[in-house]
Structure 1
Amino acid sequence: MANHFHLNTPLLESVAMSKLVGTAVYLKMENSQPSGSFKIRGIGHLCQQMVRQSKGVVCASGGNAGMAAAYAARKMGVPATIVVPSSSPQLVVQRLQDQGATVKITGKVWDDANAEALRLAETEGLTFVPPFDHPLLWQGHGSMIAEVAASLGPGVKPGAVLLSVGGGGLLCGVIQGLKDVGWTDVPIVAMETVGAHCFNAAVKAGRLVTLDDITSEAKCLGAKTVCKKAFDYSQCNEQITIF
């Protein structure tokens, strides 16, 4: 991915966490990305593939995906509309506007904002940028694992990868990245927030389910339904442990 928008971020050992769990723990410092999170990897890659001739992009997000879409759109010189739920902090709205995005507040949770983003894409001819459910996103996120492999060096691989799950995009990207570097036997520990546990609920039910509501503290960040690809992985991949 030449001329991409994301940075090759440091892989740093956490002495405190390593002491706590009794083994070396390394942190992939995605908070140092120009948009503030790993989302720029996948969203930047998708925008480079799909947006060049676009009238503009629209993305529904409580924060990180919207920041990535707004950043990529600004760099590409196309307008960005970010639809956020009313639960989004004013600071998030201000940061999106600082990136040059038009911000529209719709509904209480991300799913409400996403429905409006889809409507705007249809009625105004904008390019819809999904925050977690698209193969190009997963391909972009997979670059993180290639960097980890390069940092650890030949013949060294992690005992496990620990990550968080919202809509499932990072999980799909990490699985793709592990395949790309030949680490398909590396276990994945997927963590969710109580009250936004759409992945855990789907795995327990054996089918995709939609939560009645997002009741976690960060209501603007949760998805009521995990992406199908993440659920499919959970059904055929014994390396995934979900909490």
Structure 2
Amino acid sequence: MLELSAIEDAARRIAPFVRRTPLMQATALREPVTEADLWLKLECLQPTGSFKVRGATNRLLTTPPEALANGIVTASGGNHGLATARAAFQAGVPGIIFVPKTVTPDKLERLRGWGADVRVVGNVWDDANREAQAYAAANDAVFFHPFADPAVMAGQGTVALEILADMLDVETLLVAIGGGGLISGMASAIRALKPSVRIIGIEPVGSPTLLASRQAGHVVRLPAVTTRVATMACGRTDEAVFAIVDEAVDDIVLVDDEEMLSAAKWLWSEMGLAADLSGAAAIAGIRSGKIALKPGEKVCALVCGAGKDALV
């Protein structure tokens, strides 16, 4: 587990540079998805459109400025790339972002809007990650890993501090999983402050990275990644991330790409929220019936990323 103090320090450190996002109750709906008392944590309202800005900002602020001279490099399905591009912009250094071919046109446009040098490499994140790490090593640049980095994980964990401050009676927390940095950071905070909370992760059917590792009892590399959701596509997680998830996360469910797309359309039509498919994953888990919730149960679902996926 991450130390609670590391997450609390991250919260204080990044506060001037990120938004304290609101909770919105899912009420007055034409098509309710559950009889539970459902609240949405709107991380889609962050400056770059996702929670990733928390981790990248904490990583930036814990890195000596002189180490940044040759730029910041990362590999991303889109959201972490945007957060890293913003960090490079803030630091006044080059941001070199490697993305797979599955990245959405919307994310590409926004990455270039931050002035990033965007390089499209490979079919999945793992391909882009190999190239990004090689580039960083060859050019003495700083690599911002999207999930296997304690500073990044601690930054993501600050989402949980805000949820507990605003919704102390929360009983169940629903969190999308890509590489696992978000859920591991949040779970570390939750288990330290309110261990009774049930934590459920949601992965794509086409990229069940943490579920497959949990079933095997150790980190495994998936034989194939078939989801088209680039922000949740990861062929292999990190050992430290897996250790936290295996200990602290109660359950992991799988949703397919079409269920996430349908959920994103629901978020737009019912809540006026433009979520990307990862941002709709928690709602997809509810709407598909794969997450059992009791009437009146206090549930918080993360809308963790913004995008135009449901608007086209």
With structure 2 as the length reference, what TM-score do the two structures score? 0.72
Q: Which runs of 5+ in 1 are unaligned?
A: none
CA distance in 1, matches of 2:78, 2:138: 24
The CA deviation string for residues 60-84 of structure 1, in whole angstroms up to 9 with x for no partner, is 0110000000011112212100011
Does residue 233 of structure 1 match 2:244? yes
Q: Would the aligned equivalents of 2:79 and 2:231 in 1 still touch at CA under 8 Å? A: no
Q: Percent identity between the aligned chains? A: 32
1:210 and 1:224 in contact (8 A); partners too: yes
Secondary structure, counterpart of 1:69 in structure 2: helix
The residue that corresponds to 1:211 in the other structure is 222
Deviation at 1:220, TM superposition (A): 6.1
Superposition RMSD in Å: 1.9
Q: 1:14 aligns with which of 26, 43, 47?
A: 26
Supply the distance in 1 between the matched residues of 2:189 and 2:95 (Cα, whole angstroms).
29
Alpha-carbon distance in structure 2 between the residues aligned to 1:158 and 1:117: 39
The answer as to whether partners of 1:85 and 1:220 remain within 8 angstroms in 2 is: no
Residue identity in the other structure for 2:76: S
Deviation at 1:19, TM superposition (A): 4.5
- Secondary structure, counterpart of 1:20 in structure 2: coil
> 2-side partners of 1:90 and 1:25: how far apart?
31
Separation in structure 2 between the aligned mates of residue 87 and residue 19 of structure 1, nearest angstrom:
32
Paired amino acid for 1:241? D
Q: Which residue of 2 aligns with 1:177?
A: 189
Aligned partner of residue 126 in structure 2, secondary structure: helix
Instruction: Indicate if the aligned counterparts of 1:61 and 1:221 stay in contact, CA closer than 8 A.
Output: no
Structure 2: how far apart are the matches of 1:66 and 1:90? 14
Report the alpha carbon displacement of residue 165 of structure 1 after superposing the two structures with TM. Answer: 0.6
CA distance in 2, matches of 1:136, 1:185: 26
Q: Summarize the alignment of residues 83-162 of structure 1 with structure 2, pairs less than 5 Å apart.
A: 83-152=98-167, 156-162=168-174
Which one scores higher on RCO, CA 8 angstroms, separation ≥ 6? 2
Could you tell me how far 1:33 is from its partner in structure 2? 0.2
Give 1:168 deviation, angstroms.
0.3
Q: Measure the CA separation in 2 of the matches of 1:171 and 1:221.
A: 12
1:31 aligned residue: 44
Offset at 1:104? 1.1
Write out per-residue CA displacement over residues 83-102 of structure 1, whole angstroms, 9 at most, x where no aligned residue: 11122233322211110110
In structure 2, distance between residues paired with 1:77 and 1:174: 30
User: Paired residue for 2:299?
Assistant: none
CA displacement at 1:18 relative to structure 2: 10
Query: What one-letter code is carried by the residue in structure 1 that aligns with 2:38?
Result: V
The partner residue of 1:165 within 154, 157, 177 is 177
Conserved 8 A contact 1:146-1:177: yes
Q: Please, what TM-score do these two structures have when normalized by structure 1? A: 0.91
* Aligned-partner Cα distance in 2 for 1:198–1:125: 30
